[in-house]
């Protein structure tokens, strides 16, 4: 495992528009706008029912709304409906979109779910409340240094590449134990749990179970796993946070001609 990224920066400047989404030239025809309030109600009921089927308390699993690339007005509609946990994958987009929203809704918790370069560790620490993508020692060191400078200590999840897919972020499975020990014992990061993205098009349950087992071995209680297409299966396997975008906001706008989402491991992700 290398300590740092050599691939192009997935958090590079992303041409965000003033509304915090993509400029019109990069947006496909969106069709009818979704109603986040109505969709949130449906999702909440589905999530509660999934908890009941799993013998868990309804409301015990947190819904994180993945608002990446979606315009500010759509996010505001979800905020007005009561949603308070949101996720972005790019530091720059969060900077463009969230300051006015946070001013109106100070109880928002903002999650970073995108791959993070070490040079942006300080911006991540100051701009987010939860970091889901800690995956290598050099990033852990940079985050620890930023936390020491700023006094901010966002919750951290170690992202595990449960299928060891070479195109995906996440610590390789064989290195996960060592990284977890280093994050906690060497750098003192506030690691609260683990995150994974199962391979696209395959049964996600074995990967959810593997992550649950690894978390239990390290005394971690939080599991960030499950997206729009599989969050109910994730709840059955012990998820404590599910990351849902498409089912709440509709299809995610993408740059014209942009590459597939490398973090999803295939065609457009269904967060």
Distance, first Cα to last Cα, the chain: 27
The DSSP secondary-structure symbol of 175 reads G
Distance CA 151, CA 149 (A): 6
Other beta carbons within 10 angstroms of residue 145's beta carbon come to 15
Whether this model's pTM surpasses 0.85: no
User: 91 lies in a domain?
Assistant: yes
Q: What confidence score (pLDDT) does residue 74 get?
A: 94
User: CB–CB of 204/198 below 8 Å?
Assistant: yes
User: 5 lies in a domain?
Assistant: no
User: 17 lies in a domain?
Assistant: no
Helix, strand, or coil (residue 133): strand
Identify which has the larger pLDDT, 139 or 167.
139
User: 119 lies in a domain?
Assistant: yes
User: 227 lies in a domain?
Assistant: yes
Q: Which domain holds residue 144?
A: 57-249
Q: What confidence score (pLDDT) does residue 252 get?
A: 78
- CATH (domain of 139): 3.20.20.10
**Six token digits for residue 81:** 């409906």
Domain count for the chain: 1
User: 76 lies in a domain?
Assistant: yes
Q: What confidence score (pLDDT) does residue 24 get?
A: 36
User: 113 lies in a domain?
Assistant: yes
Q: What confidence score (pLDDT) does residue 31 get?
A: 47
Q: What confidence score (pLDDT) does residue 32 get?
A: 54
Beta bridge partners of 222: 193
User: 44 lies in a domain?
Assistant: no
Average pLDDT over residues 142-156: 98
Q: How many residues does the chain have?
A: 271
User: CB–CB of 240/226 below 8 Å?
Assistant: no
Distance CA 160, CA 167 (A): 13
Average pLDDT over residues 14-39: 53
Which of 18, 12, 20 shows the shortest CA–CA distance to 97? 20
């Amino acid at each position: 495992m290398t300590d740092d990224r050599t691939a192009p920066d997935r958090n590079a400047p992303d041409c965000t528009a003033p509304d915090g989404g993509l400029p019109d030239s990069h947006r496909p025809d969106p069709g009818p706008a979704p109603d986040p309030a109505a969709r949130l109600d449906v999702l909440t009921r589905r999530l509660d029912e999934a908890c009941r089927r799993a013998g868990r308390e309804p409301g015990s699993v947190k819904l994180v709304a993945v608002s990446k690339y979606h315009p500010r007005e759509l996010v505001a509609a979800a905020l007005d409906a009561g949603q308070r946990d949101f996720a972005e994958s790019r530091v720059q987009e969060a900077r463009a979109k969230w300051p006015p929203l946070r001013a109106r809704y100070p109880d928002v918790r903002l999650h970073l779910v995108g791959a993070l370069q070490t040079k942006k560790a300080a911006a991540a620490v100051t701009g987010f409340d939860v970091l889901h993508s800690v995956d290598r020692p050099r990033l852990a060191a940079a985050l620890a240094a930023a936390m020491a400078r700023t006094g901010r200590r966002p919750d951290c999840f170690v992202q595990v590449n449960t299928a060891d897919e070479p195109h995906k972020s996440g610590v390789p499975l064989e290195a996960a134990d060592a990284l977890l020990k280093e994050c906690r014992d060497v750098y003192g990061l506030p690691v609260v749990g683990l995150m994974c993205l199962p391979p696209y098009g395959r049964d996600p349950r074995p990967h959810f179970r593997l992550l649950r087992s690894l978390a239990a071995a390290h005394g971690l209680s939080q599991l960030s796993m499950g997206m729009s297409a599989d969050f109910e299966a994730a709840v059955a396997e012990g998820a404590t946070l599910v990351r849902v975008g498409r089912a709440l906001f509709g299809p995610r706008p993408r740059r014209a001609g942009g590459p597939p989402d490398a973090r999803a491991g295939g065609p457009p992700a269904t967060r």
